[in-house]
Amino acid sequence: MSYQNNLLIDNWTLQSVGELLKEGLYDDDANELVVSSDLSTHSYRSVSLDVLNVRCLFQILGELVFNDRLLVDDQGTCTWMDSSELLPLHSNGIVIPKPFLAIKDQWLPARNAFVEMLCVSPSMSELHKRNVARYYKSGDNEDPFFGQLIWGGSGMLGRAHALGLPYSSHPIREAWFKRVDSLFGERSAQQHLDQFIQQEQVKVYNRIDHSGYLANLSLPPVAALAIQEASDASDLIKIGLQLRETYEPLRKWLREFQEAIDSNDTEDQLKRQNLLDSVSRHIASMHQSSPTGETTVQVSMKLLKVTRKVGDPINSLQNKFGVRAAMNQLILAPAGREVVQKLAKLFGEQHSSLAFKLEQALVSRT
């Protein structure tokens, strides 16, 4: 069997996408865990459920394009299997349920270690102990959300660690994992690419948009491309599958990159970094200022267009084909207010207060 670029994901993420595609935007709140500055206690604060669900949609669209298979625990598939939009991901062999419970001896020790890492306050440790005791006694939790976040999240981290899989968590879990710095080891090939594209986008946007709006817009390129092509919210996953076919060569490149990471092949990793450097130089040549006006940059808030007239001709030619061209397309994907408004329109919320709230939330103010 050839090497597969597999990614472990949460059923929770698919559940959130299914709810969004079924219910649309409905201005509800979700909880986010916060800890006091002295790490003595924890509490919750409200965050927008719409924004969380949209971020889950963005996440799944990117993951189905850039990964061969998305692995989930077979114990939780009932939370999203009733979504007609998501079923093709399973029937096409992209989302694969795995019986992780059958191999629990492999990952349970790691899960228990991650619980200790995630419970950074005494109040969290005590609540976790009460949750566990109650679960084994009555099958439920004193605080189900805390259990889903900490115990469930630790279990997924344990699975990923024991099986050597990259793991992409639900945004609520991801925010906490990053905060406590519990993830370790090499980043996945997709994470390398995501960070590279984001950095290059920021460079371009900072050059052409002095307001800072574009640079702060949290809109992944695959999601932007899908939104641009969709005529209805139900189209988004279908278009994601079409983009999966379009970017198959890039997915193959990521598969090989992931194999180099997993095998610690430094020479191959450097070769792929050189390709990223080539794309970066090409993008830079597009927006470098020229006193003679030899570089032309055309900008609209709907679609960024860049016409190149100067730079390295060999590198420019290389970036017109194959994987380099695909990366250029993603870096220069549509961006701006019109794309966010189109997303709101797909859910029947054009010019509504929910559309305004969504746009504001997608622009980082940190």
Indicate whether 8 and 59 sit together in one domain: yes
Alpha helices in 185-310 (DSSP H): 189-208, 221-229, 235-246, 248-262, 266-287
Do 194 and 181 share a structural domain? no
Mean pLDDT of 158-181: 86
DSSP character string of 154-217: HHHHHHHHHHT--EE--HHHHHHHHHHT---SPPPHHHHHHHHHHHHHHHHHHHH-TTSTTTTB
Last residue of a domain, one of 160, 185, 210: 185
At residue 183 the predicted structure's pLDDT band, cuts being 50, 70 and 90, is: low
Judge whether 160 and 168 are in contact, CB under 8 Å.
no
The label of the residue with tokens 């549509």 reads 334
Residues 276 and 180 reside in one and the same domain: no
As separate numbers, helices (DSSP H) first and strands (DSSP E) second, the chain gives 17, 8
Question: 172-175: which pairs have CB atoms within 8 A and are 24 or more residues apart?
Answer: 172/30, 172/31, 172/32, 172/33, 172/52, 173/10, 173/12, 173/149, 175/32
pLDDT at 28 over 70: yes
Specify whether 289 is located in the same domain as 155.
Answer: no
Percentage of the chain surpassing pLDDT 70? 89
Same domain for 190 and 335? Answer: yes
Is the separation of the CB atoms in 121 and 39 below 8 Å?
yes
Q: Are residues 179 and 281 in the same domain?
A: no
Domain ends where: 150, 185, 220? 185
- Check residue 303 and give its pLDDT: 44
Residue finishing a domain among 130, 165, 185: 185
- What is the mean pLDDT of the segment spanning 223-240? 96
Residues 222 and 173 in one domain: no
**CA atoms within 13 A of residue 111's CA, in its CB half-sphere:** 19
- The whole-number average pLDDT for the span 268-292 is 81
- Between CA 122 and CA 128 the distance in angstroms is 10
- Number of Cα atoms under 13 Å in the Cβ half of residue 205: 24
Query: Quick one: 18 and 109 in the same domain?
Result: yes
Q: Are residues 272 and 344 in the same domain?
A: yes
Label residue 245 by pLDDT band (50, 70, 90). Answer: very high
Task: Work out the average pLDDT over 51-70.
Answer: 95
> Given a cut of 80, is residue 151 above it in pLDDT?
yes
Sheet with 95-98, side-by-side order of all strands: 95-98, 69-73, 6-9, 167-168
- Note whether 126 and 205 are same-domain residues: no
Q: Are residues 118 and 249 in the same domain?
A: no
| Residue range(s) defining the domain that contains residue 73 | 1-185
What does the pLDDT read at residue 186?
55
Largest CA distance in the chain: 77
**Together in a domain, 218 and 102:** no
Counting Cα atoms < 13 Å in the Cβ hemisphere of 163 gives: 23
Give the residue, 293 or 28, on which the prediction is more confident: 28
Q: How high is the pLDDT of residue 76? A: 94
Give me the half-sphere count of Cα atoms (radius 13 Å) on the Cβ side of residue 197.
Answer: 22
Structure confidence by residue, pLDDT tens digits, 291-314 = 433 433 444 434 444 444 455 777
In this structure, what is the dihedral angle of CA atoms 197, 202, 207, 210, given to the nearest 10 degrees?
Answer: 150
Provide, for the chain, the percentages of residues in helix, strand and coil under a 3-state DSSP scheme, each rounded to the nearest 5.
60, 10, 30
Domain count within the chain: 2
Average pLDDT score over residue span 201-222 = 79
Q: Which amino acid is at 365?
A: R
Provide the pLDDT confidence category of residue 350 given band limits of 50, 70 and 90: confident
Single pTM value for the model: 0.89
What sign for the dihedral angle of Cα 223, 225, 227, 231? negative
Look at strands 95-98 and 304-307 and give their pairing: unpaired
